[in-house]
Amino acid sequence: MDDRVRALLLETLYTQPTSLAIGAINGVVSGIIAAYVSQSTLLTHAAIALTVIAAARIAMGYAIGRNIAPQDVWKWELAYEIGAFSYSIILGLVAALTIWQNVDGQIQVMTVAVALCYGTGIAARNAGRPVIAIGQLFLSVVPVIAALLANGSLAYVALAVTVILLLPAMTSIALNVFATLRKSITEAENNARLAERMQNLARTDVVTGLANRAGLNHELAEKYLSLPDDRKLMLLWIDLDRFKEVNDTLGHPVGDKVLAEVARRLATQAPDDATLARFGGDEFIVACELESRSDAEQMARHMLEEINRPFRFDGQRLQVGGSLGVALLPDDSHDVATLMQSADLALYHAKVSGGHQVSFFDPSMTRNLVRRKEIEAELRAAIQHDELSIFFQPIVDLETGRIRTFEALVRWFHPEKGELRPDEFIPVAEETGVIITLGNWITTQAAKACAQWPDDVTVAVNLSPMQIKAPGAALGIQSALREAGLDPTRLELEVTESLFVEDDENTARFIDELSAMGVRFALDDFGTGFSSLGYINKFPFKKIKVDRSFVSGPNIGRKTEAIIRAVAEMGSTLEMDIVAEGLETVEQVQAVRDAGCNLGQGYYFSRAVPDYLAAMLLARERDARQQKQHAS
């Protein structure tokens, strides 16, 4: 029998101390009366023994109540057995003695009746432990039977026979009651266990085995309630920086492995009683009690190191990295809900500051970040709700007039604010880090459109520095190409000088890796920044786009013309295309062509147009060419 079931059955013996007390007091009273009336020393001793045992048993019954630990079952069972058996046999002996010593008939009736009542009653009451029940029945009744038989009178022998018949009857009743009791307790236990398992399942994340959101809520509430006054509750919110990319490019099985490994690593750093949870895809929470703020700082640092450590799966090396936000209770909040909010804001701060770092909650984070978070949420939703679209502006060969490239320019059609220009929301996207998701989406859309065009037409996509500096940025571009099925040589990436303000390993790696695949790079807005020629040498640019301030605007003149001329000359020496941006008039086109630019872009040729119009421009161009061929 299962320990828990056994404990519950034993509890049935102890649960009703009142019935135990009534039985005990009856026996004691009848014993004392018998001793008093008979004046027998033996009966007096027996009455004293009964009183002592009864008192001890009643005290024990009230003392344990319902709290029997499984490992203590045998102890309490033995204690109960000793008490029950000694009490029963003495009760039986008292009745037997009154017969044996021929005490007054009324006393005999009383003690015999008490012993029989006790024996039969107890056989039912204690059926939870049948050995005890049947043992007590026999011990209280057998001395009576012996005394009745020894007496030998007809009535007593008849009574003895009746009592003897009672033994198997009561034994079978006790066993039946026991079987029923055991069955129902076992079933109840199984049901309770099943319910517990279901509940655990509902609170567990299957991929990592950690708690899920429901589990987290439950455990946090418990941690909060049991937090001692001199301790802190730390909530550490972790967001993996590059998980989505890993998942998209390497597939869900690898993604799941990464999640499980992150969970394992967090567990090695967290105290044993910490709560670990995962939800929302790639977010983890660690909650634990700590002594001090510096403990929290130390733990957060260790966690960050663990997450940043590269993963290895089937010989493949992966670096995911994460951002961590930390808040403490009672320092930063007074309840679980604000603790979560504070940690979330701290996390957001860590992400906005470039990721791969820990940030502790600070009250100054509140207002500013909340507003930014709203815009960020709006932008994210905009992608999902198809409020964003990509327009295409042709870049034209100034010699032949043919479209060589379309530059992809994003547009946001906001349901309330109307059309928003990229200058209004790209900076927000950059500040908040949404640019990474947004940029990958734009590249994918642009590549898909390009895949529909003739092979000699390319597409140019603008990249923000932050997009490039994010670790693993090349993966995003590669997966866009793969998703669109576009040859890498047909993709051009426009970058600005600001990218090179600081020497950055990631930038160089990004450009090298993609150039090796055939992706081309264009230097955008040339002439607005440092216009340093150093990096034109250092990086494999195929194209330089001269900013439109050199073409139109108040400062136009001989000086700007000289600059365009110099750049164009360099372009032809280094075999780079030189694009003049912002061409609005035929004079401007004329001027830049004379200065040596081979490509042009601007309203003179076309504004940025939706993809179907871009396709139409190409079709018209092809028809015009065919007509020309026919004519000649």
Please give the residue ranges that form the binding site for ligand C2E (CB under 6 A): 393, 408-410, 421-423, 426, 442, 462-464, 494, 524-525, 548, 582-584, 601-603, 608
394 binds, among ligand C2E, Ca ion, none (CB under 5 to 8 A by kind): none
Task: For the CB of residue 562, give the shortest distance to Ca ion in the complex, in Å.
Answer: 21
Q: Does 494 bind Ca ion (CB under 5 A)?
A: yes
Give the nearest distance from C-beta 479 to ligand C2E in angstroms.
Answer: 17
Examine residue 492 and tell whether it contacts Ca ion (CB under 5 A).
Answer: no
Q: Give residue number: closest CB to ligand C2E.
A: 602
Q: What is the CA radius of gyration of the chain?
A: 45
Other Cβ atoms closer than 10 A to 169 = 11
Antiparallel, parallel or unpaired: β 541-546 and 577-580: parallel
Burial pattern 437-457, b for ≥16 Cβ within 10 A else e, equals bbbbbbbbbbbbbbbebeeeb
Are 192 and 203 in contact by the 8 Å Cβ rule? The answer is: no
Distance from C-alpha of 103 to C-alpha of 524, rounded to nearest angstrom? 122
Task: Give min distance, CB of 580 to Ca ion, in A.
Answer: 10
Q: Of 136 and 464, which has the nearer Cβ to ligand C2E?
A: 464
The owner of tokens 């099925």 is 485
Cβ 566 to Ca ion shortest distance, Å? 19
Strands 283-290, 322-329: pairing kind: unpaired
Least distance between Ca ion and beta carbon 601 (Å): 8
For residue 311, the minimal CB distance to Ca ion (Å) is 36
Q: Report the partner that residue 507 touches, choosing among ligand C2E, Ca ion, none (CB closer than 5 to 8 A by kind).
A: none
The residue (of 23 and 582) whose beta carbon lies closer to ligand C2E is: 582
Separation of alpha carbons 112 and 212, rounded Å:
66
Instruction: Fill in the DSSP letter of residue 522.
Output: E
| Chain centroid, CA 531 distance in Å | 49
Q: How many residues bind Ca ion (CB under 5 A)?
A: 5
* Minimum CB distance to ligand C2E smaller for 74 or for 530: 530
584 binds, among ligand C2E, Ca ion, none (CB under 5 to 8 A by kind): ligand C2E
Is the Cα torsion angle 463, 468, 470, 476 positive or negative in sign?
A: positive
Which of the stretches 48-56, 205-213, 518-526, 610-618 binds Ca ion when contact is defined by CB under 5 A?
Answer: 518-526
Q: Of 38, 357, 432, 462, which lies in the binding site for Ca ion, with binding defined by CB under 5 A?
A: 462
* DSSP calls for 77-123: HHHHHHHHHHHHHHHHHHHHHHHHTT--HHHHHHHHHHHHHHHHHHH
Does 376 contact Ca ion by CB under 5 A?
A: no
Instruction: Please identify, using beta-carbon distances, which residue of 133 and 474 lies nearer to ligand C2E.
Output: 474
Task: Name the burial class of residue 488, with classes exposed (0-12), middle (13-18) and buried (19+) by CB atoms within 10 angstroms of its CB.
Answer: middle
User: Which of Ca ion, ligand C2E, none has residue 458 at its interface (CB below 5 to 8 Å by kind)?
Assistant: none
17 binds, among ligand C2E, Ca ion, none (CB under 5 to 8 A by kind): none
Taking CB within 5 to 8 Å according to partner kind, which of Ca ion, ligand C2E, none is near residue 283? none
Q: Which does 459 bind (CB under 5 to 8 A by kind): Ca ion, ligand C2E, none?
A: none
Residues between 522 and 581 with contacts to Ca ion, criterion CB under 5 A: 524-525, 581
How many CA atoms lie within 13 Å of 400's alpha carbon, on the beta-carbon side?
Answer: 10
- The CA distance from 82 to 93, in Å, is 16
CA distances from 307 to 258, 356, 466 (A): 10, 9, 21
Q: Which residues bind Ca ion (CB under 5 A)?
A: 462, 494, 524-525, 581
